[in-house]
């Protein structure tokens, strides 16, 4: 069900949500958090779709704010989505105009779930210091996505300069499975000194940079980034352990082949992670990701970034 509320106020939106619950239970009470999305008009629907999918694991209230206001006059249009149009969440779409764009926190506060954690997500261009953003300052977790920015690596380095505990980036989430496979491969290795590592992949995809930074920070060995064109995400990781080469290669973006000197090849399914999967993973934790913090603030410098 979709309810349009043109030329409205947040107070009126909140009253309508309460009325929906009282009249027919259309809005369930078992929400575990409030997810605030700040996005341009072009990005908003894809972000809401991903949040709806993630909400099946994490029922929440989604406050989706369009930051593409064009009118000079101060006004607010809103839309409430519940039921089949909102997954397992309730979605409030806010389209502020004029001066309201400068005070998004005043729109959010009346609609927050009481006594529930707040997560803010920027699916597109994010502030350089998410924790200093008016809405980001209220949140326990702040999610960015440097891969969608016009200059991904520059955005990642800006996020490094403005990092605060509670920040994370979906470029980091996309390599969770890679990190698990690499840790397992090294655990199975009979021994020997790790001498160097190499990460190969899309030259503009910041997951490549973060995976290399993680290896450099964890292994404390020289780690090289090999940038390719026309590929998706991370395509290969190579680690030299003494005379042994451990290689994980995923040239097709679907299946990873694990090769090790003197051992038969193994193949595992490792498709590129979708946006809803990454968002759902980040919503599972509300405590600071300390590993990401170290990789961002220290590991990137180890690979010369």
Same domain, 179 and 277: yes
Alpha-carbon torsion angle 21, 27, 30, 35, nearest 10:
-130
Smallest CA-to-CA distance from 179 within 114, 87, 273, 66 is with: 273
pLDDT at 118 over 90: yes
Q: What is the mean pLDDT of the chain?
A: 92
Residue 19 confidence (pLDDT):
87
Residue 26 confidence (pLDDT):
46
Same domain, 218 and 113: no
For the segment 166-205, what is each residue's pLDDT rounded down to a tens digit? 999 999 999 999 999 999 998 887 678 999 999 999 999 9
The CA distance from 254 to 250, in Å, is 7
Residue 86 confidence (pLDDT):
65
pLDDT at 258 over 70: yes
Predicted TM-score (pTM) of this structure: 0.94
Residue 40 confidence (pLDDT):
94
Residue 9 confidence (pLDDT):
94
Residue 274 has what DSSP assignment?
P
Same domain, 139 and 200: no
Same domain, 238 and 160: no
3 state DSSP class of 50: helix
For the segment 130-158, what is each residue's pLDDT rounded down to a tens digit? 999 999 999 999 999 999 999 999 999 99
Domain extent, residue 294, equals: 170-305
Same domain, 197 and 249: yes
Residue 85 confidence (pLDDT):
66
Same domain, 189 and 283: yes
Same domain, 196 and 300: yes
pLDDT at 17 over 60: yes
Same domain, 283 and 215: yes
Residue 82 confidence (pLDDT):
85
Q: Domain boundary at 169, 202, 235, which?
A: 169
pLDDT at 48 over 50: yes
pLDDT at 69 over 80: no
Same domain, 117 and 223: no
Same domain, 196 and 221: yes
What is the average pLDDT across 28-33?
71
For the segment 197-226, what is each residue's pLDDT rounded down to a tens digit? 999 999 999 999 999 999 999 999 999 999
Q: What is the largest CA-CA distance in the chain?
A: 70
Q: Is 207 exposed, middle or buried (0-12, 13-18, 19+ CB in 10 A)?
A: buried
Same domain, 10 and 153: yes
Q: Domain boundary at 130, 147, 169, which?
A: 169
**Which residues, at least 6 apart from 137, have a Cβ–Cβ distance to it below 8 Å?**
105, 131
What is the average pLDDT across 282-295?
95
- Share of residues in the chain with pLDDT > 90 (%): 79
Task: Record the tokens describing residue 233, joined without a space.
Answer: 């995400």
The CA distance from 250 to 159, in Å, is 28
Q: Domain boundary at 169, 203, 226, which?
A: 169
* Number of domains comprising the chain: 2
φ, ψ at 186 (rounded to 5°): -70, -35
pLDDT at 28 over 60: no
Same domain, 32 and 154: yes
């Amino acid at each position: 069900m979709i309810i349009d509320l043109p030329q409205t106020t947040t107070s009126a939106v909140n009253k309508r949500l309460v009325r929906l619950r009282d009249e027919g239970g259309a809005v369930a009470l078992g929400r575990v958090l409030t997810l605030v999305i700040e996005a341009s008009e072009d990005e908003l629907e894809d972000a809401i779709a991903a949040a709806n999918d993630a909400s099946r694991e994490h029922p929440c209230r989604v406050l989706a704010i369009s930051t593409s206001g064009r009118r000079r006059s101060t006004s607010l249009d809103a839309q409430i989505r519940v039921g089949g149009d909102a997954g397992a969440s309730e979605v409030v779409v806010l389209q502020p105009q004029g001066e309201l764009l400068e005070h998004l926190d005043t729109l959010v506060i009346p609609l927050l779930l009481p006594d529930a954690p707040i997560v803010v997500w920027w699916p597109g261009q994010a502030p350089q210091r998410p924790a200093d953003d008016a809405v980001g300052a209220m949140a326990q977790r702040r999610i960015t996505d440097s891969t969608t920015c016009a200059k991904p690596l520059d955005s990642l380095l800006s996020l490094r300069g403005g990092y605060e505990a509670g920040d994370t980036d979906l470029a980091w989430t996309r390599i969770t499975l890679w990190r698990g496979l690499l840790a397992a491969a090294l655990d199975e290795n009979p021994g020997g000194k790790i001498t160097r590592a190499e990460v190969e992949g899309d030259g503009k995809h910041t997951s490549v940079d973060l995976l290399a930074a993680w290896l450099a920070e964890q292994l404390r060995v020289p780690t090289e980034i090999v940038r390719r064109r026309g590929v998706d995400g991370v395509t290969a990781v190579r680690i030299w352990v003494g005379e042994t080469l451990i290689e994980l290669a995923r040239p097709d973006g679907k299946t990873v082949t694990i090769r090790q000197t003197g051992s038969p090849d193994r193949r595992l399914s490792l498709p590129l992670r979708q946006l809803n999967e990454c968002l759902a993973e980040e919503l599972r934790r509300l405590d600071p990701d300390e590993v990401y913090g170290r990789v961002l603030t220290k590991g990137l410098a180890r690979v010369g970034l």
